[in-house]
Structure 1
Amino acid sequence: MIISKGYNLYADIYFNYDYYIIVTISGCYIHFMDLKNGYNVLSKNITDDKLGHYSKVSLSNSRKIESNSQEFNEMYNDKKSYSEWVKKIIKEYSYKNKKALFENMNLCGLSFIGNEIIIKPQNHLRMDHWVGEGIPDSAIITLKSNCSDEVLGASIKEAFTRCISRKV
C-alpha cells in the first residue's frame, strides 16, 4: 500500500517487449527522472504481482523537490544523466544501439493522486519522445490506491496494449 505524502507521486514505466523499466519521477511543477532513487529493469515475463509491487515502490520513492532548491536547479540543468542512463541500459542489456533499445518502446505514466493510482498510456512519437496526445480518455486506467499488487501489475500490462506505438 502506498502512503500519501501530501503531494502527488509519479513514476514512468517503459516496455519494449523485452523488459519493463520503472523509473521514479520527482519535482514540483516540472518533473524529472529521479535516477538518484534508482530504477528497476524487469523481465517481460514478470508476474503481475511483482510488477505491481515494484511500481508501488517507485511511486513511493517520488519526491517533491522545491523549485527554488539547489537540487531542483541541478536536475533542471542536468544534460548528462539521461544520456548516461540510456548508455548504461544499452550496455547492460546488450542492445546494439539507442535505436534498438527504443524501437518498440512504449511508455505509461503512473500517478498517485488523492486515493487513486492513474495509469496513462502514451503515444510514441519518435526515438525517446512520448506524449499523451492522441490517447483517448477511455484508455486511461484508474484504480483505488489500496488495490493489490497483482491488480496494479495486470492493469499496467493492459495499459501497454492501449499505447500508440511507432517504429523508430
Structure 2
Amino acid sequence: MQALSDSRTLTSLDERVVFFDLVKGKERYNEKVGMLMERYGYKTKRALFKGMKNCTIHCINGLISIQPSYHEKLEAWSGDRIKESDYVVLPIDSSSEEIGAALRLALSRCIG
C-alpha cells in the first residue's frame, strides 16, 4: 500500500509536460536500469530483463486495477495478447495480504 500511496498523480499540464519529456525520460530510465543492475548484481541488461514480468497498476474510483503485460522483447512490454479478463481488480481498502495475492495472480498472468 505504501508504494501506491507514494505513486505520483500527474494532475497539471506542467507536470505532464515534464514527466513525458523524451530526453529526461530516457535519462530517468537509464538511471533506473543502472540502479537495478547494481542493486541486484546483474552484469548485463539482458540478464536483468530476461524473464522479467511487468504489471500496470491504476487506482481509480476506489478500485485497484492490476494489468498484466506481454513481454514482447528485451525492454518492451505491451497489452497485446492480454485480455481484460486477465486484469485483477480489488477495492482500495483491501488488506495488504489481499493486494499481495492479487499482484501475484496478475504476475502469473503475464505472458512472455
TM-score range, shorter chain: 0.7 to 0.9
Cα drift, residue 144 of structure 1: 1.1
SS in 2 for 1:80: helix
- Counterpart residue number, 1:152: 99
- Counterpart residue number, 1:122: 69
> Within 5 A, what are the aligned runs for 1:64-143?
64-67=10-13, 69=14, 71-77=15-21, 78=24, 79-143=26-90
Cα drift, residue 65 of structure 1: 4.0
Cα drift, residue 91 of structure 1: 1.5
The CA distance in 2 between the partners of 1:98 and 1:81, in whole Å, is: 16
4+ long deviations beyond 6 Å: none
What are the ranges of 5 or more consecutive residues in structure 2 without an aligned counterpart?
none
> Greater relative contact order: 1 or 2 (C-alpha under 8 angstroms, separation 6 or more)?
1
SS in 1 for 2:9: coil
More strand by share: 1
SS in 2 for 1:112: strand
More helix by share: 2
The sequence identity of aligned pairs, in percent, is 31
The CA distance in 2 between the partners of 1:65 and 1:101, in whole Å, is: 32
TM-score by length of 1: 0.60
How many residue pairs get aligned? The number is 108
- Counterpart residue number, 1:60: 5
The CA distance in 1 between the partners of 2:11 and 2:40, in whole Å, is: 31
The CA distance in 1 between the partners of 2:47 and 2:18, in whole Å, is: 30
RMSD: 1.4
